[in-house]
Amino acid sequence: MRLILKLYFRWEVYGKDNLPAVGGALLAANHVSYLDPPLMGCAVDRHVHFMAKKELFSIPGLGWLMRRFGSIPVERKGSDRQAIRRALELLQSGSVVGIFPEGTRGDGKTLLKPQPGTVLLAAKAGVPIVPMAITGIERVLPPGCWLPRPAKIKIFIGEPIEIPVNGTRSSRDVLNGYSQLVMERIDELRSCQKAAAGRAVLRM
């Protein structure tokens, strides 16, 4: 998969060392395409267990592959306690769990409002949230396109965000505040792509 990404999409990954080498961590990224999970998993050197909507597990082939890689099916209607317990078990055992705080795919231009569950999960597990920005993917699979286009993809991984445990579980204001902070960090990482593009224009 990494070879395909390198040859076809000319992908680049920055900040890979920001993901702790050991211990539980919640890897949080923006969500634009169905390609985001494999991109997230290939960008780091640790195995990532993804939280994905339950409907994807019923797709022939894809469902088997997701189970094979230890993905966690999530029932999006209401609170899926079983999925939360499984994610907590993985995080507390020292594994990495991948999640998309927006809860659904965006347009690649503006980040959607974050769901507080990401911060709550990190607080309960006592693990940091590592922000990640996936850029260029909106040009790979634009609306109505089924065949991936060879657009350049860049992934930026930021420094871990430590979530204080005391008070976080019971305070909605704290949850919302840290949820917004996570999205701000992801947006800052996305701006790295824009800055790089601006420098390229200046050099031309």
The string of pLDDT tens digits covering residues 116-165 is 789 989 999 999 999 999 999 888 877 677 788 888 999 999 999 998 77
- Measured CA distances, 76 to 26, 38, 54, 81, 86 (Å): 19, 21, 8, 11, 15
| 125 touches 24 (CB < 8 A) | yes
Question: Three-class SS string for the chain?
Answer: CHHHHHHHCCCEEECHHHCCCCCCEEEEECCCCCCHHHHHHHHCCCCEEEEEEHHHHHCCCHHHHHHHCCCEEECCCCCCHHHHHHHHHHHHCCCEEEECCCCCCCCCCCCCCCCCHHHHHHHHHCCCEEEEEEECHHHHCCCCCCCCCCCCCEEEECCCECCCCCCCCCCHHHHHHHHHHHHHHHHHHHHHHHHHHHHHHHHC
Closest to 69 in 3D by CA, of 91, 43, 46, 88: 46
Residue 114 pLDDT exceeds 90: no
In angstroms, the CA 107 to CA 164 distance is: 32
Task: Give me the pLDDT at residue 170, please.
Answer: 52
Task: Give me the pLDDT at residue 193, please.
Answer: 64
Residue 56 pLDDT exceeds 80: no
In angstroms, the CA 73 to CA 82 distance is: 9
Residue 203 pLDDT exceeds 50: no
Task: Give me the pLDDT at residue 135, please.
Answer: 92
Residue 74 pLDDT exceeds 90: no
In angstroms, the CA 149 to CA 170 distance is: 45
Residue 184 pLDDT exceeds 70: yes
In angstroms, the CA 50 to CA 121 distance is: 14
pTM of the predicted model as reported, rounded to 2 decimal places: 0.84
Q: How confident is the model at residue 202 (pLDDT cuts 50, 70, 90)?
A: very low
Q: How confident is the model at residue 175 (pLDDT cuts 50, 70, 90)?
A: confident
Residues 6+ apart with CB under 8 A from 32: 105, 106, 107, 108, 134, 137, 138
Domains, the chain: 2-203 (3.40.1130.10)
At 75-112, the pLDDT tens digits run 766 667 888 888 999 999 999 999 999 877 777 778 88
> What integer best gives the mean pLDDT of the chain?
84
Q: How confident is the model at residue 186 (pLDDT cuts 50, 70, 90)?
A: very high
Residues 6+ apart with CB under 8 A from 29: 36, 40, 98, 100, 131, 132, 133, 134, 186
Residue 197 pLDDT exceeds 70: no
